């Protein structure tokens, strides 16, 4: 029996593609292995969103290529965004690579394997970016058994000036509502308690299929599923929030009072240059509404510093905005000048040195804010989904509440919490807050 090793890079949306490809391999009697040394087939699902992601992808490809020399590997496949974006260039420049599989061609992974293993030829399988998986596709979850990502849509039609996603993932296209509901029901039947809804623009779900945004309608169907504890919304484009959606989040206990809301900047000149659809005032109004209508809401956002034309005054405007808003979680990225984007050709590109200065400046500020907010949580009682149990030197369990998304946010550490297993839910009281994590006691 052939063995395959898989490495998934980049975002959770890429991870879902990986999990579907894993399912296709298993369905075709290919055994999965965590040891690249023993794998006959090595597959890297790559990211190419920014320069650092491209570098990580190339480095990983070259590392895995070594197993063709000193391991069992006979077939090295590059899937995902890097392959979609650079296609023939990768085959030409990396002779170790046997096949390229594009972002819309993950369902052809067995074709790539068969062409390489049986026909002994290199193949380029990069077609139109118009596919999306559904509930009938085999899928092997790589996340903990109690949590899963569900992709409600693929691609993006917002066309921000810095972003390559529409080029490598195609235009926005939603899954049918009944397909998503069926998948979530199946996940819950197999032990999943937390479903994280993802897309490039989650709040636009349904616009292309139904002529109007239908995220609220989808959520109303999902909350009916017995056994589902949490529904979390990630990658929410601020322009596409509705009053109805906000009201549902406020009133439905299964929907986490948590919003991942990438804002990218707060200065109107920079927002316009980014081709974002919101003004500073629009953003402030939305945040005020979210916080007034949804008490206890946790807001995560992300910002880009060093965008072309960003002056010290523009950056100080962003910094003041972060100080005023006091976000619970913030990710900061330095602008990456990506070819085939509008922003790459804008004048007044910012130096790497200035980008790094602004990155550290904003992150230092946010660390102070995060620590203050976490300290203000002391005394708060929360339900925590246990993720890890450590018994040495003493029993400490860690997990997440509705306030923490998987992979990107901090942890709640609970001391002397006996008789706990991963997937259990316990009630705790926060006793000490730190920059990223908090310590709690079991009630």
Predicted confidence (pLDDT) per residue in 177-202, tens digit: 999 999 999 999 999 999 999 999 99
Architecture of the domain made up of 147-376: Alpha-Beta Horseshoe (3.80)
How distant, in Å, are the alpha carbons of 15, 188, 231 from that of 148? Answer: 10, 9, 10
Query: Which pLDDT does position 192 carry in this prediction?
Result: 98
Q: How far apart are CA 291 and CA 289, in angstroms?
A: 5
| Residue 360: per-residue pLDDT | 99
Same topology, domains 3-125 and 378-442? Answer is no
Residue identified by tokens 């804010």 is 369
What are the distances in angstroms from CA 14 to CA 53, 142, 276, 341, 402? Answer: 13, 12, 24, 21, 23
How far apart are alpha carbons 69 and 73 in whole angstroms? 8
Report which DSSP code applies to 37. G
pLDDT of 223: 98
Average confidence (pLDDT) over 418-434: 95
**For residue 42, what pLDDT is reported?**
97
The CATH number for 3-125, chosen from 3.40.50.300, 3.40.30.120, 3.40.50.12160, 3.40.50.150, is: 3.40.50.12160
Alpha-carbon distances of 358 from 261, 362, 441, rounded to whole Å: 21, 6, 38
Sign for the CA dihedral angle at 103, 107, 113, 114 comes to negative
pLDDT of 17 reads 95
Kindly state the average pLDDT of the residues 259-275.
98
DSSP 8-state assignment for residue 264: B
Distance of CA 149 to the CA centre of its chain: 9
| Cα 443 to Cα 429: distance, rounded to the nearest angstrom | 7
Confidence of residue 418 (pLDDT cuts 50, 70, 90): confident
Fold of 378-442: OB fold (Dihydrolipoamide Acetyltransferase, E2P) (2.40.50)
User: Percentage of the chain surpassing pLDDT 90?
Assistant: 92
> Is the pLDDT score of 286 beyond 80?
yes
Distance CA 372, CA 365 (A): 11
Q: What is the pLDDT of residue 71?
A: 83
What's the mean per-residue pLDDT of the chain?
96
Per-residue pLDDT at 136: 94
Mean pLDDT for 416-429 is: 93
Best CA proximity match to 67, nearest among 95, 34, 39: 39
Delimit the domains of the chain by residue range: 3-125, 147-376, 378-442
Digit-coded pLDDT (tens) for 361-412: 999 999 999 999 999 999 999 999 999 998 777 778 999 999 999 999 999 9
% of the chain with per-residue pLDDT over 70: 100
Check if the beta carbon of residue 276 is closer than 8 Å to that of residue 262.
Answer: no
- In this predicted model, what pLDDT tens digit does every residue of 37-57 receive, in sequence order? 999 999 999 999 899 999 999
């Amino acid at each position: 029996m052939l063995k395959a090793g898989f490495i998934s890079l980049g975002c959770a949306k890429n991870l879902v593609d990986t999990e579907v490809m894993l399912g296709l391999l298993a369905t075709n009697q290919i055994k999965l292995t965590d040891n690249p040394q023993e794998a006959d087939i090595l597959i890297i699902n790559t990211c190419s969103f920014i320069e650092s992601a491209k570098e990580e992808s190339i480095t990983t490809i070259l590392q895995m290529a070594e197993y063709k020399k000193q391991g069992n590997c006979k077939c090295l496949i590059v899937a995902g965004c890097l392959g979609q974006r650079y296609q023939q260039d990768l085959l030409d420049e990396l002779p170790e690579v046997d096949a390229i599989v594009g972002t819309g061609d993950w369902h052809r992974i067995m074709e790539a394997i068969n062409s390489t293993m049986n026909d002994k030829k290199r193949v380029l399988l990069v077609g139109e970016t118009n596919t999306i998986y559904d509930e009938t596709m085999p899928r092997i979850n790589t996340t903990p058994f109690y949590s899963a990502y569900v992709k409600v849509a693929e691609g993006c039609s917002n066309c921000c000036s810095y972003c390559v996603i529409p080029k490598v993932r195609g235009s926005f296209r939603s899954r049918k509502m009944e397909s998503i509901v069926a998948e979530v029901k199946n996940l819950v039947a197999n032990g999943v308690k937390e479903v994280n809804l993802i897309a490039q623009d989650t709040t636009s779900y349904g616009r292309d299929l139904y002529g109007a945004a239908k995220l609220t309608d989808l959520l109303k169907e999902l909350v009916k599923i017995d056994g589902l504890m949490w529904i979390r919304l990630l990658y929410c484009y601020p322009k596409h929030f509705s009053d109805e959606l906000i009201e549902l989040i406020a009133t439905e206990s299964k929907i986490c009072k948590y919003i991942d809301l990438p804002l990218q900047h707060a200065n109107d000149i920079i927002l316009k240059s980014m081709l974002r659809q919101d003004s500073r005032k629009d953003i402030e109004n939305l945040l005020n509404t979210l916080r007034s209508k949804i008490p206890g809401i946790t807001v995560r956002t992300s910002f880009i510093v060093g965008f072309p034309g960003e002056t010290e005054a523009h950056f100080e405007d962003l910094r003041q905005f972060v100080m005023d808003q006091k976000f619970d979680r913030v990710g900061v990225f330095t602008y990456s000048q990506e070819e085939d984007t509008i922003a790459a050709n804008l004048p007044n590109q910012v130096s790497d040195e200035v980008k790094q200065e602004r990155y550290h400046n904003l992150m230092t500020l946010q660390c102070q804010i995060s620590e203050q907010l976490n300290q203000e949580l002391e005394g708060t009682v929360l339900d925590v989904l246990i993720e890890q149990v450590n018994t040495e030197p003493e029993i400490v369990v860690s997990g997440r509440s509705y306030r923490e998304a998987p992979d990107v946010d901090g942890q709640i550490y609970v001391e002397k919490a006996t008789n706990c297993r991963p997937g259990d839910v316990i009630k705790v009281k926060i006793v000490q807050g730190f920059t990223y994590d908090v310590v709690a006691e079991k009630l």
